[in-house]
Amino acid sequence: MKLGLIFTSCALASTASAFSPAPFVASGRTSSSLNGNLLSTETGKASLDPAVFSRYSDLPYPVDRVTAEYVWVDAAGNTRSKTRTLPAAKAKKLETLPKWNFDGSSTDQAPGDDSEVILRPCRVFRDPFHPRDDGEDNILVMCDTYTPDGTPLPSNTRYNAEQVFKKHTAEECWFGLEQEFTLFNTDQRTPLGWPENGFPTRPQGPYYCSVGPENSFGRHITDAMYKACLYAGIELSGTNGEVMPGQQEYQVGPCVGIDAGDQLMMSRYILQRICEDFQVYCTLFPKPIVDGDWNGAGMHTNVSTKNMRNKGGIEVIKKAIYKLGAKHQEHIEVYGTGNELRLTGKHETANIDNFLYGVANRGASIRIGRDTEIDGCGYFEDRRPSSNADPYVVTGKIMDTIMGPDAPEIAPANKS
């Protein structure tokens, strides 16, 4: 399954979610409106001296202890984390990791008078931020969230998706998620490679998969994220520069079922941590630049079941697409906030109100690749999810729909 790389978000200010910053509208952007109260726009340097930090990071860990970073998704869809020390023996298996808790009143996930939220470990990764060379691994732990009586929180979208996948384990559904993201200076208004208070002198075109200082902006972020994700054990299959200057992409997968959501969420967490080090602001908002002829950002989702991958699977793919078309509006409603700004029928998208599918058609809602058409089996790509979409919701919704009843046939929008 061939994927395309895309992004993650990094919130540097508590007053603004990385998933929904105000889009940049040039007509309202003046020096007076910014009041001159900008953070430094210099990027590429940590705010603390790494030489000083290395005095402590180079200290050896106790051989019988590891650190475990418990990561969860908050009410706004952002990742949060807290760290604990565990006996090394307890960190060897997911089953032996203890549950933990946090103050849900500080994350909009519980009231102040009953604020304890339970963290249940779901997936373990190696910690790329605290490597060690003594035979043990510090770990990152992806968790979901519950009330003390065991009820999943409303923000625990993983739970509902997991129930869907448990019903269809024999399908061995593979997902490949293409995470696009946009990198900004710390003013949160100026994308990397853009002039302050203005637009690039050249239109889209030279920036996609580009090289050179005049074309590529943020490669150091994606390269660092790439290696950190591979070290962690995430199935990161590639990266590339995107169409708009300052946008990047990475691809996670193929992953089976619920693991796609776990890996994508942890990759977003890792990217946020890397953006901390580089002091670069990163957003998942699907249309960060509203004015002008600029692409938005998506989380294209590649899908294949066992039957789709087998001989004759193209017919299974088409039937799945018909089902997705019949429930187009239901999917749009859960495919991310601000997506109406991106799905306009321009910039490699289908209009949000129209469902289209076609072979090699990046202006369609669903694309079938040329290889899949030629081989008669393979996968399809749902191009509708926005870059800030919840991967648990997206994968669970797709699985639930394509396992549903048959739907009327839809004519393809193929180029004649």
Per-residue pLDDT of the chain (416 residues; tens, 9 = 90+): 444 333 233 332 333 344 444 454 443 333 333 344 444 445 445 556 777 888 888 899 999 999 999 999 999 999 999 999 999 999 999 999 999 999 999 999 999 889 999 999 999 999 999 999 999 999 999 999 999 999 999 999 999 999 999 999 999 999 999 999 999 998 899 999 999 989 999 999 899 999 999 999 999 999 999 999 999 999 999 999 999 999 999 999 999 999 999 999 999 999 999 999 999 999 999 999 999 999 999 999 999 999 999 999 999 999 999 999 999 999 999 999 999 999 999 999 999 999 999 999 999 999 999 999 999 999 999 999 999 999 999 999 999 999 999 999 999 988 65
| Alpha-carbon Rg for the chain in angstroms | 22
Query: Which structural domains are found in the chain, ordered by start?
Result: 62-154 (3.10.20.70), 166-402 (3.30.590.10)
pLDDT of residue 321: 98
Distance CA 180, CA 294 (A): 14
- What pLDDT is stored for residue 48 in this prediction? 66
Q: Are 301 and 394 in contact (CB under 8 A)?
A: yes
**Rounded to two decimals, what is the model's pTM?**
0.88
Cis peptide bond upstream of 131, omega within 30: no
In the chain, the amino acid numbered 180 is E
pLDDT score, position 21:
46
Residue 301, phi then psi, degrees to nearest 5 = -120, 115
* Cα dihedral sign, 373-377-379-380: positive
Q: Which residues of 215-228 are buried (b: 16+ CB within 10 A; e: fewer)?
A: bbbbeebbebbbeb
**Nearest Cα to 182, choosing from 275, 308, 293?**
275
Alpha-carbon distance of 99 to 5, in angstroms, equals 33
